[in-house]
Amino acid sequence: MSSNQKQPVECGCGKTFEWTLWESINVTTDPDLKESLLNGTLNVVVCPYCGLLFYYERFLLYHDEKKRYLFYVYNHDCEEDKEVLKKKAVADCRAIRDKSEKHEIFSDYRIEVFFGLDNLVKFLKEEEL
């Protein structure tokens, strides 16, 4: 399931406004969100004050049930170590799986950590070649 939420966004013009941003996308149930991601329109906002269109970076969870991918996409300026984040992600999924009834959730999933949606997009495009 994909999910989004309204959150305050600050524009370069100094104004703040609310925008609905995706925090988790399931590209198996919502393939159009994968399209938006590949087109670079996912989490792009438009300032109602000055009309500026820009990408608002935030953490995003990318889930592909068919390919069994679970990707954690952090901001570019995230200072934590990629390996540390990956270990944390793997531990999280293991905990969810252990709590599930049949211990099937997220088993044999590929879990990866990316910094920035552009790096995720690069990975997905290379994969399709």
**Could you list the residues that contact Zn ion (CB under 5 A)?**
11, 13, 47, 49-50, 52
Smallest separation (angstroms) from Zn ion to the CB of 116: 22
Smallest separation (angstroms) from Zn ion to the CB of 9: 9
User: 17 or 91: whose CB is closer to Zn ion?
Assistant: 17
User: 47 or 113: whose CB is closer to Zn ion?
Assistant: 47
CA distance 33 to 41: 9
Q: Is the dihedral of CA 25, 3, 83, 102 positive or negative?
A: negative
Smallest separation (angstroms) from Zn ion to the CB of 105: 42
CA distance 62 to 18: 23
CA distance 111 to 45: 28
